[in-house]
Homo-oligomer: A and B are copies of this chain.
Amino acid sequence: MSEADLKRRILAEVQDELAAIEDALEANLTPHVGLVRAIAGHLLFAGGKRLRPLLMVLCARLCGYRGTYDIPFSTIFEYLHVATLLHDDVIDGGTVRRGRPAAHRIWNPPAVVLTGDFLLARALSIATRTGRVRILEVVAKVTEEMAQGEILQLQRKGKPDLTREEYLRIIRCKTAVLFEGACRVSAILADAPGEAEAALADYGHCTGLAFQMADDLLDYTEDGAALGKVPGADLREGKLTLPVIHALEQAPEADRRAMVEIITQDDFSAESFAALLNLLERNDGIGYTRRQAAAQVGKAKEALAFFPDSNVRGILMDIADYTLMRRS
């Protein structure tokens, strides 16, 4: 199935949920300071995919949850996500996000940092409304891990010797734990048995890893360029990702040296980047990353095997597949 067809199929199934999530994001924001609303809203209502809240809502359904709290509580995971995007963009000096100028280009960066703080706190406030300490534990832990993942990434920025283990640790902290948390919380909310919670946590974790690897691949593929992403943006920011790490490990000495020369440049020409892409292809960087992401999708879908077949399970399988195919 093509990416467009898969996307259409998923969206047809979840349009009501997405509309409800959208309303809840608006209804639960409510800062009493107008500027916070403006800055948070700028990014929050710029058409995100709402993948994290959607996963929570769908996983809750899969666990047989029939209450009405899943939608409001799912906003936790979008608020946390947007909080980290706001901080990230200030930190990396990102210029465009979700098709809009990054918030810190419109408002002053300190106000953007503080709005991120507010969203973190708001996410935790909403989590307290669940009345479940275990949900709060998950959300607080996710927030801790994400901050540490970002700092690890920052610390290793510009280092051409980033290892595969460090890369995996970074993407676990900065992406997978949030996906995992959203899926795990749904099981807790639904009072599902421990095995169901563990299965959903696995599903979320593996889907998150696949999502991030696919995201990292977009930096080196035409799909990414077609999206308006600047090819090589990660590398320009000094972020080494799996395609490069693997190719560097695999490459014969001459190729390795050629790659290092390009990636350690402060900036590189279109020709250099094209040469790098060639070297990545030749040394299996692209193919390997795709296979690794596909393996995570496979694991995510395996985890769902714990649950009997159902429409919701099918959508969650589709979403796992979609992370790998997605072009946006």
Residues of A participating in the B interface, judged by any CB pair closer than 8 Å: 31-33, 35-36, 87, 90-92, 108, 110-111, 113-118, 120-122, 124-125, 127-128, 131-133, 136-137, 139-141, 143-144, 146-148, 150-152, 154-155
Q: How far is the CB of A280 from chain B (nearest CB, A)?
A: 28
Q: Which of B36, B128, B151 contacts A35 (CB 8 A)?
A: B151
- Least CB separation from A130: chain B residue: B133
A30: min CB distance to chain B, Å: 10
One complex includes copies of this chain to the number of 2
Contact status B128-A137, CB under 8 Å:
yes
Cβ contacts under 8 Å, A110 to chain B? 90-92, 154
Query: Is B125 touching A144 in the complex (CB atoms < 8 A)?
Result: yes
A35-B155, A125-B143 given; 14 more Cβ-contact pairs under 8 Å:
A33-B152, A87-B114, A113-B113, A114-B150, A115-B147, A116-B117, A118-B148, A121-B143, A121-B147, A124-B139, A128-B133, A128-B140, A131-B133, A132-B133
A interface, over-half SS = helix
Q: Which of B115, B125, B146 contacts A140 (CB 8 A)?
A: B125
Q: Are B113 and A125 in contact (CB under 8 A)?
A: no
Q: Contact: B111 with A87, CB < 8 Å? A: no
- What would be 30 A-B contacts, judged by CB atoms less than 8 Å apart? A33-B148, A33-B151, A36-B151, A87-B113, A90-B110, A91-B114, A92-B110, A111-B151, A111-B154, A113-B113, A114-B151, A115-B151, A117-B117, A117-B120, A117-B143, A117-B147, A118-B144, A118-B148, A120-B120, A120-B121, A120-B143, A121-B144, A121-B146, A122-B144, A124-B124, A124-B136, A124-B140, A125-B137, A125-B141, A128-B140
